[in-house]
A and B are shown apart, each in its own frame.
Chain A
């Protein structure tokens, strides 16, 4: 229960929509969203498929708690083979779209094939149809959402769509819903665009009414909300400062990757921090931050809503950027800022708006610009090639590249390929700060050792949301570990990876794990779905999901050699801060990690491991 029990299968080649019952055995084995959709995906898709070919599929999936009163119960994920990485991709988004799909009576939508011309899918409860998208193709996300609502005279529709980046083949294009919430990473928007699928508009009025035990569910969700409320991070830090609460903290501990990871501390960090967003600007006396906002069902409300200074060079005479919209989260502020040495908060906010408007991952975009600026600094790339003086710290270059890249124009076409392909093309592949082709987020693994292993082994390429040991190594959640040592990190990474897979499969936000453990989630899942979801079973499901993703990647051609970090992080010591003199000790952690996982030295799950997990 709590599942809608229905899957919508859309064949874009044939232009058909069909309803099929949800595989309930798989639902018990993989819960929903990330786990369950990945199960469908790996069963149906050849791991060797070209991500941009019609044979790749792409799935929008909710979890059983999506659309319920569980705090943060509004999530959905987009699962496919990633355009940027060639690995399994699973990008998670909040906002209101996921709950709307569930309210319409669907657990997930599986798209197959490729449409001959641009189309969008409209769902009104049981009814689903593909319609001609000629009137929105070429439009931004910010134009597409209102255009669809106006055409259908339905302001309460929710829309998940791609902007220009997904249409023009930017390899890290995002899927965006509700104007500024995004399934951001690995190029899931690129795959959507490659299928000529522009948008999915949903109106659901059926609601979620099949909770197994409503009374127990209301008691469990109320208790869990209290845990969030009473916790310093989820109750105070995140609503007040958002994830940006980390900027000064991570900089102080010498783990803020700066100028393409040349440095681990950024002297401009304070200018782009949460505190700076709260400060009245010198120019107009107003704050960058307007307010905090929540996604569907969320009692944390970490979302930033910002307004750009109307006199700032990026938006002069461009009133379309003067309104409030999604502001800087920590990862975006880092990628658009510290990674490039840019400390202009308004320029960062503008670049972030552009990423939302046109559907582009700000992490991979910002980090790729960091690599471009390093190549410029080395004289490998020139002003003539780039069209602008691209010195580290240039806010003008950042804003210029953002607009070019999302539209696939000029040198932006090359930035849109990501740092791995770009640095290889110009003869310096070692300067791509990425794993499996996906750029690092905002934590330098020389200063936070566990994150090196988390990045190297992440199934979707470098990512902080697969095993966030920052929680333990920096914030002491659930226990404080020393960020500068490698001892014990293999077990820590595995524990975080497995638990996160459960949260990502349930329909709730991983940020709840600042306060919740599996013991807080379990009663909610059990009351909503099935008493088979015990603590033991959930632990096993997390591990099962992780190994299933790993096996897909292995079949796709990845090996233990791809569980690696760029040379810079393992050979160039941190120059300043508490981690001064340290490199990442991946080689000390990886063998132990394989052993704990029950994998052979080549990183392949052994027969015993697979049997134990029912794979």
Chain B
């Protein structure tokens, strides 16, 4: 059974523990500038929104890569960049409609979320439950439950 990263911006406080955890996992240092998940600040609305790769089934990045450096991890469903193959041509960064594949100057390769091999560090580090790792087929479960509760209250009112 595959899982998905599930993001609920309503719970995000903007602490960036996720960005530090991601960079530590992949680069061995606390460094949000190297994170594959980014928290955006919509200041006037008072909202912080984490955003990362959704692991598209028909992945644009994977299709676009001229050297087949992006592979499907059959267990997690993640689209994973193989650094040894990547030539840093950046075509995938152009192909991705969501901007979640990015070039890394230090390595000359691209990077994107790889779900940490099935145990995403960002979800573990998130102190508020804004980022969770849940059943890929049931990312709507919590929202369904909320609406079910609302409708139930209406019926009984």
Task: Give A contacts to B, CB under 8 Å.
Answer: 67-69, 71, 96, 99, 103, 156, 179, 204-209, 214, 225, 229, 239, 290-299, 301, 303, 305, 307, 323-325
In whole Å, how far is B49's beta carbon from the nearest beta carbon of chain A? 12
Most buried by A among B24, B28, B48: B24
Chain B, 115-155, contact with A by CB distance < 8 Å: what is the 0/1 string? 00000000001011000000000000000000000000000
Docked Cα-Cα span, A99 to B29, in Å, equals 13
| Residues of B1-36 contacting chain A, CB below 8 A | 13-17, 20-21, 23-24, 27-34
Q: Is the CB of B30 within 8 A of A324?
A: no
Docked Cα-Cα span, A245 to B45, in Å, equals 24
Q: A179-B43, A324-B43 are in contact. Are A294 and B14 (CB under 8 A)?
A: yes
Docked Cα-Cα span, A178 to B14, in Å, equals 12
Q: Please, which residue of chain B has its CB at the minimum distance from the CB of A179? A: B43
Docked Cα-Cα span, A56 to B33, in Å, equals 35
Q: Is the CB of B125 within 8 A of A298?
A: no
Docked Cα-Cα span, A299 to B43, in Å, equals 20
Q: Is the CB of B21 within 8 A of A324?
A: no
Number of A-B contacts (CB under 8 A): 84
- Main SS at interface, chain A: loop
Q: Is the CB of A293 within 8 A of B48?
A: yes
Q: Please, which residue of chain A has its CB at the minimum distance from the CB of B48? A: A293
Q: Is the CB of B46 within 8 A of A156?
A: no
Determine whether B71 belongs to the interface, using a CB cutoff of 8 Å to chain A: no
Q: Is the CB of A209 within 8 A of B30?
A: yes
In whole Å, how far is A242's beta carbon from the nearest beta carbon of chain B? 12
Q: Please, which residue of chain A has its CB at the minimum distance from the CB of B29? A: A209
Q: A69-B17, A69-B30, A299-B15 are in contact. Are A229 and B127 (CB under 8 A)?
A: yes
| Residues of B45-66 contacting chain A, CB below 8 A | 45-48
Residues of B within 8 A of A214 (CB): 24, 28
Q: Please, which residue of chain A has its CB at the minimum distance from the CB of B32? A: A103
Which of B13, B27, B44 is in CB contact (< 8 Å) with A207?
Answer: B27
Q: Which 7 pairs between the two chains have the least Cβ-Cβ distance? A: A207-B31, A209-B29, A324-B46, A323-B44, A294-B13, A290-B46, A294-B15
Docked Cα-Cα span, A96 to B40, in Å, equals 13
Known A103-B30, A207-B30; further 12 A-B contacts with Cβ < 8 A: A99-B32, A156-B33, A205-B34, A207-B23, A209-B28, A214-B28, A229-B127, A239-B13, A293-B13, A307-B46, A324-B45, A325-B43
Docked Cα-Cα span, A499 to B34, in Å, equals 35
Q: Please, which residue of chain B has its CB at the minimum distance from the CB of A301? A: B13
